[in-house]
């Protein structure tokens, strides 16, 4: 399986997916930390990929997503954005609505 196939599979199989540096419990950069905090405040479970442990995904995902930085939040197969967008959406309440809807759809 190619790296791009792995990325596609991860995105397809997880309604809420965060590509980040580190883990939710131990983020390895401030942007990932802020993104995790915003997502966790929505109260739903989410999947994550630690790009520091997978250099191939770290190299290929920016090309695949046409988004150069990390973290990257994907909801229902669509790229939502990075840290700034995640935090802005959290402040407006839009992130919680999106995440809760995605979690509900995933359960069904």
pLDDT tens-place string over residues 43-69:
999 999 999 999 999 999 999 999 999
- Provide the 3-class DSSP secondary structure of residue 27: strand
State pTM to two decimals: 0.96
Asked if 95 and 89 count as a contact pair (C-beta separation under 8 A), the reply is: yes
**Looking at residues 69-98, what average pLDDT do you find?**
97
- DSSP class per residue in 60-97: HHHHHHT--SS-EEEETTEEEE-HHHHHHHHHHTHHHH
């Amino acid at each position: 399986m190619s790296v791009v196939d792995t990325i596609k599979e991860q995105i397809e199989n997880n309604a809420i997916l965060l590509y980040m540096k580190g883990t939710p419990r131990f983020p390895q950069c401030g942007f990932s930390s802020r993104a995790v905090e915003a997502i966790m405040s929505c109260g739903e479970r989410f999947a994550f990929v630690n790009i520091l442990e997978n250099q191939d995904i770290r190299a290929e995902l920016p090309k695949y997503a046409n988004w150069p930085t990390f973290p990257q939040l994907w909801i229902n197969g669509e790229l939502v954005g990075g840290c700034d967008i995640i935090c802005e959406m959290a402040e407006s309440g839009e992130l919680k609505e999106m995440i809760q809807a995605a979690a509900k759809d995933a359960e069904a």
